[in-house]
Structure 1
Amino acid sequence: MTRTLPGPTDHVVVVGAGLAGLAAALHLLGAGRRVTVVEREELPGGRAGRLDLAGYRMDTGPTVLTMPELADEAFAAVGESLRERVDLLPLHPAYRACFADGSTLDVHTGADAMAAEVERFAGPAEAAGYRRLRDWLQRLYRAQMRRFIDANFDSPLNLLNADLARLAALGGFGRLDARIGRFLSDERLRRVFSFQALYAGVPPARALAAYAVIAYMDTVAGVYFPRGGMHALPRAMAEAATGAGAELYFGQRVTRLERSGERVTAVVTDTARIPCDAVVLTPDLPVVYRLLGRRPRRPLRLRHSPSAVVLHVGTNRTWPHLAHHTISFGAAWHSTFDELTRAGALMSDPSLLITRPTATDPGLAPPGRHLHYVLAPCPNTDIGPDTATWSDLGPRYRDTLLRELERRGLHGLEAAIEAQCLVTPADWHALGHAAGTPFSAAHTFLQTGPFRPRNLVHGTRNAVLAGCGTTPGVGVPTVLLSGKLAAARVTGLPLRRRTRTRPPAAPAHGGRTGAPAPTGCPVPPRTPAARTSEGGTG
């Protein structure tokens, strides 16, 4: 049995209406708790927010949805279904990979379709290698999911189980690059199955092979897109939570936690005091530690993942060679990771993720118009340009990216732009994200599993953390799981599907309930006062 909160937990306040906070709220409601959710922004979603700009509806956070069954678990906790709330569209292909030599590869999640594509791209030997790789990825996922990903840890001793031996036998503690290379000799194919490690904050050459589980989620389990954009998911979760009796308050900045000894007794906002029996904290770790008034002791300082510059553009044209998700690889590879994680320099030959959501949902833009998001990994502010530098660097780097994209075939891109929003590490920092990165603490060995910042708080008996800074880590599937795991710390119950009777929602404290219509931009450069505000982004 893992540890749970002692004492009463009848009323739980969740700070933050991001994916982690909403998942926690739904699981808590399903376990019979009274739940209040407090969010500093005017809409749910946290990182998965939305910007309405000149008729374009832009997702401001994640653009890739995998493992939707984890979201469905949260809905099922209150007797609902993800697919009844959200029109979920599978993407075919999941990605299109474009390489510097002019070759392209469509990444399919079906085994036969992908094997045929790999054979076309690189020959029958590589197709056979892909089938062996796929089998390994499936076994790797089965060895990790129950005991290492969907699991609370009280001690490193929790690692000592039969699945640890299975993971070791599968080579999970070797290096990701080398392990993928056992199946595929084509360097381009190896990139497709290892680039995901970057978003966990570790170059493929240094990442544990166990992190290939991210490639499993992308290339085997499938990639989906909610009609209406990724923000449709947290919006639906907020509506389900309200329908199940939760009180949701938006535009409420949490200023402090009232305490009595080692227990939090109330959450205080700009306008209200909300008594509680327990609290789930989902903002980024610096905000959480400031609210708690203490920072856990660690032998080593936390290392953070690389950050990203994101350019959102609404255009009057598109480029047919772009899929919904297109990865445009530069010629450079290993040197790119050195620049991002060691030298603190912008990529000299960038690999970019280009998302064209209007390829799947044209309603996200005005008639005849198109949306494109360009994500360029960049160093975080701990090792790269600081927040002040980005005020001048950002617009110049935008121009550099546009020139590079035009060189890679998006001819006339700059002239086609009708609306745009540029997000840099300075903007992530203004939202309270440590080191100016939305990807939080890197998944090095000593920051993974039981070594990651724990979701229980030493010195506070009734607080639990959720979000990408704690277990199990970064990414939509793991953030959803973090909310579930936080709820399990509160309830002490195995959180399974259950039916429920819908109680009426009851507004209180003068707050607003439900999911309001999105207004404003959740990622603008903030004023100095807003930069210190607390609330939810997890």
Structure 2
Amino acid sequence: MAQRIAIIGAGIGGLTAAALLAARGHHVTVLEKEAHAGGKARQCRVRDVDIDAGPTVFTLRSVFDDIFHACGAELDDHVQVRRAEIIARHAWSPEERLDLFADPARSEEAIGDFAGSAAAAGYRSFRREAARIYDILDRPLLRAGKVSWPLPLMWRIGLWRVGALAAIRPYESLWKVLGEHFADPRLRQLYARYATYCGSDPFRTPATLMLIAHVEAKGVWLIEGGMSALSEALQQLGERCGATFRFGSAVRRIVCLSGRARGVELASGEWIAADAVISNADPAALAAGRFGKDAARAVGSVKPRNRSFSALLWTVHAKTAGFPLARHNVFFSPDYAREFTDIRGGSPPADPSVYVCAQDREASEPVEPGTRERLQIIVNAPANGDTHTYSAKEKERCTKAMRRSLARCGLELEAPLPHELLTPSDFETFLPSTGGAIYGRASHGWAASFLRQGTRTRIPGIYCTGGSTHPGAGVPMAALSGQLAAHMVSQDLASMHQSSRVAMAGGMSTPSARTGATG
């Protein structure tokens, strides 16, 4: 029987859940406080040019193929996607550059040329171990509901696979285990960087996170129009299936009656009845009471020391010179450990590694020499945006440090630099109660995966989705969380005994979300 489902937030997780639940015949209403879909996958405008200011790396394409297939559609009919030949370009100096390729044989050859035959052998052993970890955890953990302790995970993996839990190496640090594969400190630094994909310190994360490198090696994809185009495609998919989207509709509170979620109240005072409410906000916002005191009991809070990193993020429209940019580029600092010591101390790195997404490179229209191009530039920063506001002087200092790191590797940017800078305090405004932590809880220590918020909460009828919930950060993981939410909501509602609707005095219930269907 069709049920009424309210989804708070139109990020990747909420969009995925909306499309899948609507495709199953439920009446879905998505409530988004912003004027557009996407959540963290948003854009900033610099000199009348829109530049992606959210996630840029698209992996695990098959996750999205499955979502579109489940809704009777094809991903390729909605967005233009093609595989990137270069996964990423890395630099330590103008003379020290290393590309990793979609073809692992080319990557192995490039690593051998860069650091010698022992390094190429280390790459082969690393690839095998990263793939093994991914294969062990893919179905039992990444694509299944959260478990709260190792024993249930072991049951899922299979008790007969007695060595599997040890094989994922949860009790050893990523930095330490990488030393078993790579003697060259540059390669150790390169592969340690994958911990920052989930906003974590490679010196404190478990070696389990090597699986992220395997995910990227399986394929990086380029989307024409960036992640915003993917968000728009998911919105259109949801609308085609019957979901209704209401933008500019902030939710004041989740209404709980008799110990169960019964709907939401908007900032406008309007009530919307629902049999289930899915929150695509960071769980920290729920815990902080951003959706009412009753809903605050649904999840646990995250202490500031357990937050993931925030970021300094520049959106830039400028001329570049001196370095042949690919789509994804990483410029490494000479002292990697110091970067994370600075962040742990509450300051952005004085001498940072820098990620640059050159959004017009490897696009359908090549960048003409001497013309401005769109860049997103990221430096990791502490998630203290709720306690510290960056002054103009600090912003200038951080911009100079970023430019020094790029210049050290041969990349020069136009001066003065046409840009907008987002700081942790800006991310706190966008992601309330997080301090600007972009990735939710940090993946530090062996128990991190068990402590991350799962789909179900302590209050029946309230569910969580998005990159800050299980299975973790990143666009494909947020989509997997949306799949889990759709599955668990459908499962729970189907098992409920029908009860009479609860009347809410002075309120109103929206009509069927399917009345807003398009296509």
- Is structure 2 residue 327 aligned with structure 1 residue 321? no
Distance of 1:32 and 1:109 partners within structure 2:
39
Distance of 1:261 and 1:480 partners within structure 2:
31
Of 207, 210, 213, which residue of structure 2 is paired with 1:209?
A: 207
Distance of 1:78 and 1:300 partners within structure 2:
35
Q: Which residue of 2 aligns with 1:94?
A: 87
- Is structure 2 residue 369 aligned with structure 1 residue 379? no
Distance of 1:511 and 1:39 partners within structure 2:
17
Q: Which residue of 2 aligns with 1:265?
A: 262
Q: Which has the higher contact order (CA 8 A, sep 6+)?
A: 1
The sequence identity of aligned pairs, in percent, is 27
Relative to structure 1, the CA distance from residue 317 to residue 484 in structure 2 (aligned partners, 3 Å threshold; closer, same or farther) is: same
- Is structure 2 residue 19 aligned with structure 1 residue 26? yes
Q: Which residue of 2 aligns with 1:394?
A: 395
Amino acid corresponding to residue 479 of structure 1 in structure 2: A
Shift of 1:365: 8.9
Relative to structure 1, the CA distance from residue 364 to residue 29 in structure 2 (aligned partners, 3 Å threshold; closer, same or farther) is: farther
Return 5+ residue gaps in structure 1 as ranges. Answer: 1-7, 494-506, 516-538
Relative to structure 1, the CA distance from residue 379 to residue 337 in structure 2 (aligned partners, 3 Å threshold; closer, same or farther) is: same
CA contact (8 A) 1:387 1:429 kept: no
Superposed counterparts of 1:225-374, under 5 Å: 225-271=222-268, 272-289=270-287, 290=289, 291-293=291-293, 294-295=296-297, 301=303, 303-317=306-320, 319-340=322-343, 342-361=344-363, 368-374=371-377
Q: Which residue of 2 aligns with 1:196?
A: 194
Offset from partner CA, 1:94-151 (integer Å, 9 cap, x none): 1001014730100113121111111111112211221221122111110011112111
Structure 1 residues 260-269 or 347-356, which shifts more?
260-269
Q: Which residue of 2 aligns with 1:455?
A: 455
CA contact (8 A) 2:439 2:473 kept: yes
Of 35, 38, 50, which residue of structure 1 is paired with 2:43?
A: 50
Secondary structure of 1:27's counterpart equals: helix
Distance of 2:233 and 2:479 partners within structure 1:
14
Distance of 2:301 and 2:54 partners within structure 1:
32
Offset from partner CA, 1:40-98 (integer Å, 9 cap, x none): 11110000012344342211101111111112222222111222211112222110010
TM-score by length of 1: 0.84
Distance of 2:3 and 2:223 partners within structure 1:
34
Give the alignment's Cα RMSD to 1 decimal. Answer: 2.8
Structure 1 residues 194-203 or 248-257, which shifts more?
194-203
Amino acid corresponding to residue 361 of structure 2 in structure 1: A
Relative to structure 1, the CA distance from residue 91 to residue 244 in structure 2 (aligned partners, 3 Å threshold; closer, same or farther) is: same
Q: Which residue of 2 aligns with 1:10?
A: 3
Shift of 1:229: 1.4
Relative to structure 1, the CA distance from residue 358 to residue 129 in structure 2 (aligned partners, 3 Å threshold; closer, same or farther) is: same
Relative to structure 1, the CA distance from residue 243 to residue 305 in structure 2 (aligned partners, 3 Å threshold; closer, same or farther) is: same
Offset from partner CA, 1:446-467 (integer Å, 9 cap, x none): 6633322232221x21110111
Alignment size in residue pairs: 488
Offset from partner CA, 1:208-266 (integer Å, 9 cap, x none): 11111111112x21211210112111110001110111101111111122232122222
Secondary structure of 1:286's counterpart equals: helix
Distance of 1:484 and 1:386 partners within structure 2:
35
Offset from partner CA, 1:179-224 (integer Å, 9 cap, x none): 2222221111122222111233432222111111111112x21211
CA contact (8 A) 2:321 2:412 kept: no
Relative to structure 1, the CA distance from residue 452 to residue 510 in structure 2 (aligned partners, 3 Å threshold; closer, same or farther) is: closer
Amino acid corresponding to residue 438 of structure 1 in structure 2: I
CA contact (8 A) 1:354 1:372 kept: yes
Amino acid corresponding to residue 476 of structure 2 in structure 1: P
Secondary structure of 1:97's counterpart equals: strand
Of 165, 179, 182, which residue of structure 2 is paired with 1:184?
A: 182
Distance of 2:450 and 2:401 partners within structure 1:
41
Distance of 1:169 and 1:277 partners within structure 2:
42
Amino acid corresponding to residue 333 of structure 2 in structure 1: G
CA contact (8 A) 2:84 2:221 kept: yes
